Amino acid sequence: MTKFHFLFSALMFIHNFMVSYAMIVRNLTTDQHALLAFKHQIIDPHNILANSWTTNNSVCNWVGVSCAAKDPRVTVLDLSNMGFTGTIPPQLGNLSFLVSLNLSHNNFHDHFPRELGRLSRLKLIDLSFNFLNGEILSWFGRLDKVLHLNLRNNNLTGVIPPSIANLSNLENLDLNHNLIHGNIPHEISKFLNLRILRLASNQLSGSIPAVIYNISSLRMTSVASNNLCGSLPKHICRHLPNLEALYLDGNDFSGQIPSIGECKNLQGLQLSSNRFNGSIPRNIGSLTKLRTLFLYDSNLEGEIPQDIRNLQKLEIFDVGRNNLSGQIPLRIDECMNLEKLYLDANRLNGSIPKSIGNLTRLTYLYLGENNLKG
């Protein structure tokens, strides 16, 4: 190697080192720049940031900001409920140590800056209750440490991208109340720790991918108020031992209500406003933790199972607007926590059991449009 070559290589090495050094050396000053850029880009109608987010005050003491204890960098940004307006500034993508971002309950509009995809340490994202639009793009797949993703009550469009499968640590996904369409992707099966899945009040269609019934960590599943169809598996809880709430109401599901007795931990079951037919499953009486049972507005027929009286925690029982026949179960008063009882618009006959008078907590009783007497 000639001296020149050596010198050149050495210079190149130093140059490359300086470039990468400059990129790596991000410190609290970087975070301060990013946050000041944030402050200047949004509208803060209550002047919450004006006196706090100033350079005479350490960033870690700014309102809504928390830092890691050693090697201080901004790790938590909680600016929920501040009345902020504007777009989410792309500079947030420079808060490279951020673990938790909560901008919920503001008036942020427009779409997410793709710079957020750089925040690879994020575990908690809450952008709910804003006016965000646009799509959930595939760069979300880079946020693979996220445990909690809440984008509910925005105006998001597009489909749920299959790349969401990269968020394999996800425990809580809430996309309720948006304008998301398309199918629920099969890739959802990659969420082996998912506990809460909320996709209600969107425009999802197709059937629920069967893999969902194998995510044994699930505690709450809501896909209510979409355009979903298809039937449910016969033993819906065989691999869902922890399920506490199942909300499928307001879709186009059909076929029979599955044998639900295995869902031992179920507290809320909402299947109303679908096209379920057949009868109420006999073994519903074994769901002893059940507190709310909504089966109204379907095509159910047959009798109300006598075992309903085992549901001692039941507070709301609504089977109105079906085609149920036979009598009101005589010992319904054993459901002593009943507050609302809707049996209206069926073909129930016989007399109204006197024991109903023992339901001391009852505030709503709808028995109209039946053939009841007494």
Ligand X SMILES: *[C@@H]1O[C@H](CO)[C@@H](O)[C@H](O)[C@H]1NC(C)=O
Which residues form the interface with ligand X (CB under 6 A)?
A: 25, 27-30, 33-34, 37, 51, 54, 56-57, 80-81, 91, 94, 102, 104-105, 124, 126, 131, 138-139, 141-142, 148, 150, 155, 163, 166, 210-211, 214, 239, 254-255, 277-278, 299, 301, 323, 325, 333, 349-350, 354-355, 357-358
Tell me which residue of 199, 201, 170 sits closest to 184, measured CA to CA. 199
Q: Which C-beta is closer to ligand X: that of 148 or that of 198?
A: 148
Nearer to ligand X, 27 or 193 (CB): 27
Closest distance to ligand X from the beta carbon of 233 (Å): 9
Nearer to ligand X, 205 or 323 (CB): 323
Minimum Å distance from CB 283 to ligand X?
A: 17
Least CB distance from residue 267 to ligand X, whole Å?
21
Buried residues in 117-128 as b, exposed as e (16+ CB within 10 A): bbbebbbbbbbb
Helix (H, G, I), strand (E, B) or coil at 365: strand
Looking at the Cβ atoms of 115 and 339, the one nearer to ligand X is: 115
Closer to ligand X at the Cβ: 183 or 254? 254
106 vs 222, beta carbon nearer ligand X: 106
Write phi, then psi, for 213 (nearest 5 degrees): -75, 0
**C-alpha–C-alpha distance, residues 111 and 345, integer Å:** 46
Report yes or no: 257 and 278 within 8 Å, Cβ to Cβ: yes
Contacts of 22 (CB under 8 A, 6+ apart): none
> Least distance (Å) from ligand X to the CB of residue 373?
8
Q: Minimum CB separation from ligand X for residue 6, in Å?
A: 30
Helix, coil or strand: residue 316: strand
- Please say which residue, 286 or 352, places its beta carbon nearer to ligand X: 352
Two tokens, residue 72:
């201080």
What is the Cα–Cα distance from 259 to 242, expressed in whole angstroms? 16
Confirm if 263 and 285 have CB atoms less than 8 A apart. Answer: no
Nearer to ligand X, 8 or 357 (CB): 357
Torsion over CA: 287, 293, 298, 299 (sign): positive
For CA atoms 330, 335, 337, 338, the dihedral sign is: negative
Minimum CB–partner distance for residue 87 and ligand X (Å): 13
Tell how strand 65-67 and strand 74-78 pair up.
antiparallel
Helices and strands in the chain, H and E counts: 2, 26
Nearest distance from residue 103's CB to ligand X, in Å?
8
Sequence-distant (6+) residues with CB within 8 A of 161 are 135, 136, 137, 138, 140, 141, 185
Residue nearest ligand X, Cβ-based: 141
Tell the smallest beta-carbon distance from residue 92 to ligand X (Å): 9
Nearest distance from C-beta of residue 370 to ligand X, angstroms: 10
What Cα–Cα distance (Å) separates residue 261 from each residue in 239, 283, 307? 13, 5, 12
Residue 164 or 266: the one with the smaller Cβ distance to ligand X is 164
